[in-house]
C-alpha cells in the first residue's frame, strides 16, 4: 500500500512559514509582498487558477493585483501593461496566466517581464540560471514536486528518476532539479520507445502527460514513488491525474493524490517566489 503524500498538508506548513516571513518584511522594512496576475481572455480553467492565486495571496498577507484584459487585446497592450508593472515598486512578482490567445506570442511576453519579477521562472535568464544551478526562483510545479519528495525523507541521490513530459514549464526543469540532487534522470516523451519498460525502472516516477489513466500498474516498479502532475477529467468529468490510482497505489511506496497532491504545491511555490522577490528588493535597497 502506497503512503499518500498530502500536498495539502505540506502546503499548509510552508504557507504558514511564508506568512510569518511576510509579516517580518512588513515589520522590518514596511514592505508588503505584491503579486500582479494578468489574465487575457475568458478561459474557464485559467479563471479558476487566477482566483486561487489571489486567495493564496490573501491567506499569506500579500497584496494581489489583478489585471483582466479581454480576448481581443493586442500583444502591444499586454507588453505595455507589463512595462508599467516592471516599474511599479509595489509589485514584486508578475505572472501572466498561460495559455494566451493565439495572436499573442507567449515567449515575447515572458521575455518582457523583468527577470527580478519573473516569479514563474520562465524568463530565459532565469531558465539559464536554473541550468547552472545558481538561481533565485524555481518554476513552481517542479519546485513543489521537490518539496513533496523531500517531505517523505526518501533520499534522491543515486536514484533512477523518470520524468514523463518535456515541457518548458514542468518536464525540462523537473529533470534539471532532480539532476542537481544527483539522481540519474531519464526524460520520456511521446516518441519514447518502450515507455512502460523505461518507467518500470524508476525509483521515482514523475508523470506530467495530461492523459487520464495513462500510468498503469505494469509501468510502476514495486516500491517506487509516484508523483502525479496531471490535471485531467475522467469519463465522468471528475478531476483526476495521469495515474490509474486504484491499480498503481498498491505497488507504490509513496503516491500523490489528485486532487490534493501537486496542485496545492504549485501555488505555494508561487507565494515563496513572490516573497523571495520582495526580500531581494529589500536587500538590494539596503546596500
Ligand atoms: N498555466 C498553467 N500553469 C501555469 C504556470 O505555472 N504559470 C503560468 N503563468 N501559467 C500557467
Of 8, 28, 47, 53, the catalytic one is: 53
Q: Does residue 160 share a domain with residue 68?
A: no
Check pocket membership of 98 for ligand 1, CB cut-off 6 A.
yes
Can you give the residue range of the structural domain that contains 167?
A: 140-263
Give the Å distance between the CA of 122 and the centre of ligand 1: 10
pLDDT exceeds cutoff 70 at 121: yes
Q: Does residue 246 share a domain with residue 169?
A: yes
- Count other Cβ atoms within 10 Å, centred on residue 99: 12
pLDDT at res. 286: 59
Q: Please compute the mean of the pLDDT values over residues 32-41 and round it to a whole number.
A: 98
Q: Does residue 51 share a domain with residue 147?
A: no
Asked whether residue 240 is assigned to any structural domain, the reply reads: yes
pLDDT at res. 282: 85
Give the Å distance between the CA of 218 and the centre of ligand 1: 31
Q: Does residue 242 share a domain with residue 176?
A: yes
Q: Please compute the mean of the pLDDT values over residues 39-43 and round it to a whole number.
A: 96
- Measured over all CA atoms, what is the biggest interatomic distance in the chain, rounded to whole angstroms? 57
Test site for ligand 1: of 39, 97, 138, most ligand atoms within 8 A of the Cβ: 97
Percent of the chain surpassing pLDDT 70: 99
- Of the candidates 1, 6, 10, 14, the one whose C-alpha atom is nearest the C-alpha of residue 227 is 6
Nearest CA to ligand 1 atom 11: 98
Asked whether residue 268 is assigned to any structural domain, the reply reads: no
Is residue 130 very low, low, confident or very high in pLDDT (cuts 50, 70, 90)? very high
What digits encode the pLDDT tens for the residues 160-188? 999 999 999 999 999 999 999 999 999 99
| Dist. CA 73–CA 80, nearest whole Å | 11
Check pocket membership of 97 for ligand 1, CB cut-off 6 A.
yes
pLDDT at res. 42: 93
Is residue 6 very low, low, confident or very high in pLDDT (cuts 50, 70, 90)? very high
- Count other Cβ atoms within 10 Å, centred on residue 88: 13
pLDDT at res. 67: 98
Nearest CA to ligand 1 atom 9: 97
Of 118, 120, 228, 242, the catalytic one is: 120
What CATH number is attached to the domain comprising 35? 3.40.50.10860
**What is the sign, positive or negative, of the torsion defined by CA atoms of 209, 135, 104, 89?**
positive
pLDDT at res. 246: 96
Asked whether residue 150 is assigned to any structural domain, the reply reads: yes
- Of the candidates 99, 5, 82, the one whose C-alpha atom is nearest the C-alpha of residue 37 is 82
Percent composition of the chain: helix, strand, coil (DSSP 3-state, to 5): 45, 15, 40
For residue 286, which phi and psi values (nearest 5 degrees)?
A: -80, -20
For the chain, the domain total comes to 2
Q: Please compute the mean of the pLDDT values over residues 147-165 and round it to a whole number.
A: 98
- CB–CB of 242/230 below 8 Å? yes
pLDDT at res. 283: 78
Q: Would you state the cell numbers that stand for residue 15, as one nine-digit string?
A: 504557507
Q: Does residue 239 share a domain with residue 156?
A: yes
Q: Does residue 107 share a domain with residue 53?
A: yes
Is residue 11 very low, low, confident or very high in pLDDT (cuts 50, 70, 90)? very high
How much is the mean pLDDT over the chain?
A: 97
What CATH number is attached to the domain comprising 259? 3.40.50.720
Q: Is the peptide bond before 259 cis (omega within 30 degrees of 0)?
A: yes
pLDDT exceeds cutoff 80 at 287: no
Amino acid at each position: 500500500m502506497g503512503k499518500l503524500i498530502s500536498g495539502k498538508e505540506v502546503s499548509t506548513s510552508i504557507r504558514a512559514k511564508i506568512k510569518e516571513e511576510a509579516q517580518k518584511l512588513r515589520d522590518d522594512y514596511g514592505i508588503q509582498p505584491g503579486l500582479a496576475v494578468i489574465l487575457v481572455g475568458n478561459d474557464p480553467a485559467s479563471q479558476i487558477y487566477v482566483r486561487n492565486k489571489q486567495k493564496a495571496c490573501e491567506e499569506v498577507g500579500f497584496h494581489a493585483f489583478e489585471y483582466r484584459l479581454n480576448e481581443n487585446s493586442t500583444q502591444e497592450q499586454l507588453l505595455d501593461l507589463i512595462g508599467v508593472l516592471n516599474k511599479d515598486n509595489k509589485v514584486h512578482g508578475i505572472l501572466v496566466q498561460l495559455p494566451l490567445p493565439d495572436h499573442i506570442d507567449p515567449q515575447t511576453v515572458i521575455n518582457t517581464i523583468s527577470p527580478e519579477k519573473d516569479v514563474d521562472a520562465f524568463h530565459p535568464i532565469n531558465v539559464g540560471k536554473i541550468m547552472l544551478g545558481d538561481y533565485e526562483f524555481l518554476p513552481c510545479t517542479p519546485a513543489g514536486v521537490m518539496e513533496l519528495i523531500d517531505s517523505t525523507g526518501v533520499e534522491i541521490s543515486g536514484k533512477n528518476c523518470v520524468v514523463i513530459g518535456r515541457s518548458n514549464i514542468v518536464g525540462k526543469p523537473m529533470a534539471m532539479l532532480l539532476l542537481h540532487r544527483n539522481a540519474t534522470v531519464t526524460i520520456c516523451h511521446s516518441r519514447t520507445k518502450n515507455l512502460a519498460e523505461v518507467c518500470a525502472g524508476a525509483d521515482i516516477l514523475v508523470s506530467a502527460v495530461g492523459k487520464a489513466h495513462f500510468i498503469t500498474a505494469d509501468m510502476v516498479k514495486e516500491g517506487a514513488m509516484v508523483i502525479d502532475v496531471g490535471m485531467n477529467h475522467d469519463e465522468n468529468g471528475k478531476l483526476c491525474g495521469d495515474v490509474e490510482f486504484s491499480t498503481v497505489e498498491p505497488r507504490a511506496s509513496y503516491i500523490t493524490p489528485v486532487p490534493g497532491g501537486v496542485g496545492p504545491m504549485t501555488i505555494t511555490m508561487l507565494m515563496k517566489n513572490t516573497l523571495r522577490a520582495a526580500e531581494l528588493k529589500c536587500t538590494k535597497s539596503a546596500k
